[in-house]
Structure 1
């Protein structure tokens, strides 16, 4: 096992950009929602830099970019509702599991570690995605961006997960692709590990100072 995991008892994983490349489906839903409002689509490349702070902020960024000004609250609410509807209708048609993910999860479970999923994606989308990839039994706990009062980079979801299993933060590891994951992990007292291939607003995740970086999650086992 990776040195960072040797005395760890719980591993928390981010979802989008860490386990799955979901941007193709997210971008289709964003563009469809914009078109419903009579606004020009923004395209997948731009959406890729906006993922990570939850669906509301994603739609807000897209609207602001398309309109070239802040969006009115009513328009934003309507666009967000349409985004959720479009994404709910097709959340995994183009989404792919990153290489090494399945091997990492299976290997960590085989070593007796508890796995949890902590994402800023709305809770309602988690189960369909995990079921599609036959990963619904991999995680002992799943927390979405609307599961608690706070979401990453706030440490609350991570501390909730540690407390759920009766573990100290020092026995836990946060794995993610963005500065929000690393910040949440540090604030919670978790060790932190980053992957460089995900979504981090065009920045290098190494700039956030994780304890370690791996090119593939398969390196964990």
Structure 2
């Protein structure tokens, strides 16, 4: 294997927003509120419970009721997190191309292990994934570089032979701090606060099908 391509998970490899959004709407239902359209909830999905509770109930971690709602959200999500989740268009072909060309790929996500691992397995990604680093694998989560550095070490690659792909500004910040080039997945959730063109990624992909030429150029393969 000549290089390691690391991916964020939610909003980059997997479209998890339908199941995350359903869990968010369950919180609104519990509060006697009507459901929000998925298009409204989708941009907040990369931020997990924090982002979705902000959108669904206007709650932040500073609010007294936040932790109670966070735990209920996570319980509802865990109970139905593989109902409508699927790989983004072009991802299976991209991962196959990466492997065929002699590169390895892995996942670095802020999602905790007991939520991430079952979805990775359900989507059939566990067979070829070289490394899976979750939000509770290391002492820090993205945008700290430690998860990316840990993934490179576990897979046996120097950071100069790694790149990171993600759909949130924190992904690009983590890559830069880890000394890795980056690709912004503009087809993902991307968040409501920072336009993709301000992230300073090396490249921006508007679909997974756009990505292979960018990977080749950044990794010189």
Q: TM-score range by the shorter chain?
A: 0.7 to 0.9
Match of 1:31 among 25, 29, 32: 25
Residue in structure 2 matched with residue 142 of structure 1 by the alignment: 132
Residue in structure 2 matched with residue 182 of structure 1 by the alignment: 172
1:100 aligns to 2:76 (yes or no): no
Contact kept in structure 2, 1:92 and 1:132, CA below 8 Å: yes
Residue in structure 1 matched with residue 72 of structure 2 by the alignment: 82
Deviation at 1:136, TM superposition (A): 1.7
Q: Deviations over 1:148-207 (max 9, x none)?
A: 221111111001111223322111000111211111111100011122111112343232
TM-score relative to the length of structure 2: 0.84
Residue in structure 2 matched with residue 209 of structure 1 by the alignment: 200
Q: Which moved more, 1:187-196 or 1:34-43?
A: 34-43
Residue in structure 2 matched with residue 3 of structure 1 by the alignment: none
Deviation at 1:71, TM superposition (A): 5.9
Q: Which moved more, 1:123-132 or 1:154-163?
A: 123-132
Residue in structure 1 matched with residue 181 of structure 2 by the alignment: 191
Match of 2:107 among 98, 117, 128: 117
Q: Deviations over 1:76-131 (max 9, x none)?
A: 22211111111111112122311110011111112222211011122112222222
Match of 1:167 among 157, 161, 181: 157
Q: Structure 2: how far apart are the matches of 1:216 and 1:63? A: 28
C-alpha spacing 1:70/1:194, structure 2 compared with 1 (3 Å)? closer
Residue in structure 2 matched with residue 128 of structure 1 by the alignment: 118
C-alpha spacing 1:71/1:37, structure 2 compared with 1 (3 Å)? farther
Q: What runs of 5+ residues in structure 1 fail to find an aligned partner?
A: 1-6
1:49 is paired with a residue whose SS is helix
Q: Structure 2: how far apart are the matches of 1:39 and 1:8? A: 52
RMSD: 2.4
1:61 aligns to 2:54 (yes or no): yes
Contact kept in structure 1, 2:41 and 2:56, CA below 8 Å: no
Contact kept in structure 2, 1:185 and 1:191, CA below 8 Å: yes
Q: Which moved more, 1:180-189 or 1:28-37?
A: 28-37
Deviation at 1:34, TM superposition (A): 3.9
Contact kept in structure 2, 1:12 and 1:118, CA below 8 Å: yes
Contact kept in structure 2, 1:64 and 1:70, CA below 8 Å: no
Q: Structure 1: how far apart are the matches of 2:188 and 2:44? A: 12
Q: What runs of 5+ residues in structure 2 fail to find an aligned partner?
A: 214-221
Q: Where does structure 1 differ by over 3 angstroms across 4 or more consecutive aligned residues?
A: 34-43, 69-73
Match of 1:200 among 186, 190, 195: 190
Contact kept in structure 1, 2:21 and 2:52, CA below 8 Å: no
